[in-house]
């Protein structure tokens, strides 16, 4: 049997190849061939079916929840910045319209 550490060292591409081979061979035969426990294969298959190749990444390296929160905060900050820029643009337009109207009245 392969140790857990050896399994974790596998890249997501290697895990994908193993999953595809096991699907062809059958779970029991594939697990024996690769020396992997069925629960690990089922876990890999579930993550692969749900998230694709990215689901097979070692989760110790990437904390999806932390990344999601960081992106949400960044998104909120960008929305506020955009709103400020839009407000600034509207105010400039109003000032320009007033100045243009005053300028046109002054010419007459």
Q: Are 12 and 57 in contact (CB under 8 A)?
A: yes
Query: What does the pLDDT look like over 17-31, one tens digit per residue?
Result: 999 999 999 999 999
Beta carbons of 40 and 8 less than 8 angstroms apart: no
- Separation of alpha carbons 65 and 32, rounded Å: 35
Instruction: Give the confidence band of 73 by pLDDT, cuts at 50, 70, 90.
Output: very high
Residue 4 backbone dihedrals phi, psi, to 5 degrees: -60, -40
Q: In the block, which residue shows the tokens 């081979």?
A: 21
pTM (2 decimals)?
A: 0.50
């Amino acid at each position: 049997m392969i140790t857990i550490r050896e399994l974790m060292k596998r890249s997501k591409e290697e895990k994908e190849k193993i999953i595809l081979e096991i699907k062809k061979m059958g779970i029991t035969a594939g697990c024996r061939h690769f020396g992997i426990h069925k629960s690990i294969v089922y876990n890999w298959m579930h993550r692969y079916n749900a998230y694709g190749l990215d689901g097979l990444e070692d989760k110790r390296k990437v904390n999806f929840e932390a990344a999601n929160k960081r992106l949400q905060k960044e998104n909120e900050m960008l929305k506020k910045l955009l709103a400020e820029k839009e407000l600034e643009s509207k105010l400039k337009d109003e000032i320009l319209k007033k100045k243009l109207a005053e300028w046109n009245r002054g010419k007459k």
